[in-house]
Each structure stands twice: as structure tokens, then as C-alpha cells.
């Protein structure tokens, strides 16, 4: 059994350890990537976003406007870079617009 020394351990480190031990990171990444999309894309795009799903390192975004989907498809690399910068780690490697 692992002996814990929590006396001088900051709460942030304790939470990080808890997340790792319980394999919660992928669930947190899914929530974080949705928030990042909403913040980065703004109301104009969010009004047409019907679903966002992160599977492994691929982000699937369902859009109700084919015109917007076409427009965003030209900037997928930039969108991926902005999302990962916002998340402060590489979560998204591929973006699929549907």
C-alpha cells in the first residue's frame, strides 16, 4: 500500500493525482474541449453547433449550416491549434465537421 504524504501537498496536486488514479482525464478533456469551442468560436458559430464529441484525439462537430461548415473547413488546422492552446495541451489532433 502506498503511503501518502498529504501534509504539505497543495490541493491542486491532490486533485491531479485523484484524476489520474481514477482515469477521469478523458472525461474532463471532453468537457474542457466543449467549453474551449464555445469560447473560441463565439455566438455566431455556437448558434449553428448542434453537437460536439471528442473521441480519442478527434473532435467531431455537428453544424446545422452547410455554408458555415464549408467556411470552417478551410481553417481546421488553425482551429485545432487554437483549441489546444486554449486547453494548454494537445487534446485535439483531428477536427471533423459534419
Per-residue pLDDT reduced to its tens digit, 21-79: 777 788 888 989 999 999 999 999 999 999 999 999 999 999 999 999 999 999 999 99
Q: 22: domain range?
A: 11-97
Where residue 8 falls (left for φ over 0; alpha for ψ -120 to 50; beta otherwise) is alpha
Sheet with 49-55: list strands edge to edge: 49-55, 58-63, 94-97
- Strand 49-55 with 58-63, pairing: antiparallel
CA separation, residue 52 to residues 19, 22, 25, 31 (Å): 23, 24, 17, 10
Q: How many domains does the chain have?
A: 1
Query: 50 lies in a domain?
Result: yes
Query: 83 lies in a domain?
Result: yes
Would you state the pLDDT for residue 34? Answer: 94
CATH number of residue 69's parent domain: 3.30.300
Would you state the pLDDT for residue 49? Answer: 97
Contact 76, 64 (CB under 8 A): no
Amino acid at each position: 500500500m502506498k503511503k501518502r504524504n498529504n501534509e504539505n501537498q497543495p490541493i491542486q496536486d491532490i486533485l491531479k493525482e485523484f484524476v489520474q488514479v481514477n482515469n477521469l482525464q478523458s472525461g474532463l478533456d471532453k468537457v474542457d474541449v466543449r467549453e474551449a469551442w464555445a469560447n473560441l468560436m463565439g455566438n455566431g458559430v455556437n448558434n449553428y453547433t448542434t453537437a460536439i464529441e471528442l473521441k480519442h484525439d478527434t473532435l467531431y462537430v455537428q453544424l446545422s449550416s452547410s455554408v458555415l461548415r464549408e467556411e470552417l473547413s478551410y481553417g481546421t488546422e488553425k482551429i485545432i491549434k487554437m483549441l489546444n492552446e486554449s486547453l494548454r495541451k494537445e487534446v485535439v489532433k483531428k477536427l471533423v465537421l459534419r
